[in-house]
């Protein structure tokens, strides 16, 4: 079969994650070009640009444009790529605003182009197994879902207090940046549209008034007797431990020390430029009456998702790795992991990164206009829920109808 060609706009962590698929499957995908103002050459390719506009103006021969730049930079290159005839792998979110999200999807439909958003959870064996269980009908219909996204204290401090998604005015609300994955799962699992949403959330801890007396603005300047006891210490998170180093192209000890000495990642979590909640709860009602309660919290040890799905003839309970499935009549549930996800791969998110790229290649090779249109349209649904949830939170929990 024809090998597809792709351009990567943004050579950060997400761009590198998707591009690695080409290195392992050169018969399926080739990265022909990369645009990034700082580190384009960390991804092997024939051509490099410092600016994404220069790249798209040159109109290199390719099938796919992968947009993996900061959230606020998704909309313009997405529209330009679609109008230039490329299909789109677009890292979530589509855009930080609802109007721009709708515009991207409308443009894709008009141009008859495929848009796959980086909702990688649905491409993992675990979550695909849940979908197969629901679709089998063995457990009846979904009545309610209770879902908690335990974001992990270290992950929240990195991304949503110190990092790129800490300030919604510069990136996206946390409910969109973090939880659009989960809302995509609910839409996928239930197979219906969400009708209305209510939400509550706030910043409980990461506020200036909670800063310890005598602490410094930057962790390296903090008195040792305070820093040694602080679980949010940047030195502890980036230099002494390895959990977050994979996010950086250069994760040497020298690079990590420079990171905490000179960048936002070294600032005290109580003095950061953050405005997004560190915890948020959303209630959703779907067409047909199914309900969902979604809890996002940054105050957990592990970065996991736990789920309880109540159905008319059974229930599903999962912890992100293991599923406990019960039929009320006592019979064995036969449905297993869909065959397409049984083969493990080394990509992150339980293999979801590579499986997403593989699915895009499958759809483009099949070239079914109905499948391309339906896949593109569905990408918007989780975003509409996120925008409604944020409007509700800012309005004190007001019920928001989704159009």
| Statement: residue 342 has pLDDT above 80 | no
| Statement: residue 249 has pLDDT above 90 | no
% of the chain with per-residue pLDDT over 90? 88
Read off the tokens for 242. Answer: 């390895």
64-92: per-residue pLDDT in tens?
Answer: 999 999 999 999 999 999 999 999 999 99
pLDDT bin (cut points 50, 70, 90) of residue 346 is confident
Task: Give the model's pLDDT for residue 350.
Answer: 79
Task: Give the model's pLDDT for residue 202.
Answer: 97
- Residue from 139, 118, 142 nearest 191 by CA: 142
Q: Where are the beta strands (DSSP E) in 265-399?
A: 279-286, 291-297, 304-311, 314-318, 323-327
Mean per-residue pLDDT over the chain, rounded: 94
385-396: per-residue pLDDT in tens?
Answer: 999 999 999 999
For the whole prediction, is pTM greater than 0.85?
Answer: yes
Q: Greater confidence, 45 or 348?
A: 45
Q: Residues 107, 47, 45, 84: what is their CA dihedral angle, to the nearest 10 degrees?
A: 10
User: Helix or strand or coil: residue 265?
Assistant: helix
Task: Give the model's pLDDT for residue 194.
Answer: 97
| Statement: residue 403 has pLDDT above 90 | no
Task: Give the model's pLDDT for residue 248.
Answer: 87
Q: What is the C-alpha to C-alpha distance for residues 27 and 2, in angstroms, rounded to an integer?
A: 8
Give the least confident one: 170-184, 237-251, 287-301: 237-251
Question: CB of 380 within 8 A of CB of 95?
Answer: no
| Statement: residue 55 has pLDDT above 80 | yes
Which domains occur in the chain, in start order? 4-113 (3.40.50.720), 121-206+274-335+373-401 (3.30.360.10), 208-266 (no CATH)
């Amino acid at each position: 079969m024809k090998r597809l060609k792709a351009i990567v706009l943004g050579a950060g962590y997400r761009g590198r994650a998707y591009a690695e698929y080409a290195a392992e499957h050169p018969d399926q995908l080739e990265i022909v070009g990369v645009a990034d103002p700082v580190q384009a050459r960390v991804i092997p390719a024939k051509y490099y640009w410092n600016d994404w506009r220069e790249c798209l103006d040159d109109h290199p021969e390719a099938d796919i444009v992968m947009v993996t730049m900061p959230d606020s930079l998704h909309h313009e290159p997405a529209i330009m790529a679609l109008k230039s005839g490329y299909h789109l792998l677009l890292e979530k979110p589509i855009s930080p605003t609802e109007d721009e999200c709708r515009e991207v999807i409308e443009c894709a439909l008009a141009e008859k182009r495929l848009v796959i958003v980086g909702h990688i959870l649905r491409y993992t064996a675990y979550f695909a197994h849940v979908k197969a269980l629901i679709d089998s009908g063995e457990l009846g219909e979904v009545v309610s879902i209770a879902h908690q996204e335990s974001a992990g204290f270290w992950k929240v401090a990195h991304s949503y207090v110190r990092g790129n998604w800490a300030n919604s005015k510069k990136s996206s609300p946390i409910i969109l940046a973090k939880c659009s994955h989960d809302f995509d799962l609910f839409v996928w699992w239930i197979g219906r549209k969400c009708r209305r949403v209510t939400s509550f959330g706030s910043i409980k801890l990461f506020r200036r008034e909670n800063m310890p007396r005598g602490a410094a603005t930057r962790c390296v300047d903090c008195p040792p007797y305070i820093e040694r006891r602080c679980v949010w210490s940047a030195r502890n998170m980036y230099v002494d431990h390895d959990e977050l180093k994979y996010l950086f192209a250069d994760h040497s000890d020298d690079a990590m020390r420079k990171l905490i000495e000179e960048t936002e990642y070294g600032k005290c979590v109580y003095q950061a430029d953050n405005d997004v909640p560190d915890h948020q709860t959303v209630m959703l009602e779907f067409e047909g009456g199914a309900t969902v309660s979604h809890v996002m919290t940054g105050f957990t040890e592990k970065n996991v998702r736990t789920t309880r799905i109540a159905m008319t003839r059974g229930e599903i309970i999962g912890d992100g790795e293991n599923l406990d499935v019960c039929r009320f009549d006592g019979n064995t549930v036969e449905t297993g992991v869909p065959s397409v996800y049984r083969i493990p791969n080394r990509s992150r998110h339980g293999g979801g990164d590579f499986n997403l790229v593989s699915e895009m290649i499958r759809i483009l090779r099949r070239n079914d206009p109905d499948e391309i249109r339906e896949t593109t349209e569905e990408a918007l649904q989780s975003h509409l829920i996120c925008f409604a949830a944020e409007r509700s939170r800012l309005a004190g929990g007001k019920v928001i109808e989704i159009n």
